[in-house]
Amino acid sequence: MIYEVFRQERKGQAFQHAGSIEAPDEKFAESYAREQYGRRGESTALWIAPREALHPIEDFVDELNRNYHRVDGYPLKEKLKEARERAGTAKPGEAG
């Protein structure tokens, strides 16, 4: 069976996918993951999971440009310039 291994390099960091190992069961997988991904003290912690337990999701759809909930949906430069002019607080170089 193939097991995927995730490792945390230092406490507080996110677990990242490190690789995969082949093992007959969970006990062996634990033993092997420890050695392959931790024998040099390069990880503080590991997670292992059988490959079938993981489900890839890769198709993200955004046909109609949903920028209302993103920062790039809010270009405020022009409006700000106008508002400053109206209030008489236009910055030098902004007039016109």
Asked if residue 24 binds another protein (CB under 8 A), the reply is yes
- Residue nearer to another protein on the CB measure, 27 or 77: 27
Among 9, 36, 47, 85, binds another protein (CB under 8 A): 36
| 70 token code pair | 């993103």
Among 34, 46, 47, 81, binds another protein (CB under 8 A): 34
CA distance 44 to 6: 11
Asked if residue 19 binds another protein (CB under 8 A), the reply is yes
| 45 token code pair | 């912690």
Among 12, 41, 56, 88, binds another protein (CB under 8 A): 56
Residues that bind another protein (CB under 8 A): 18-25, 27-28, 31-32, 34-36, 39-40, 42, 56, 58
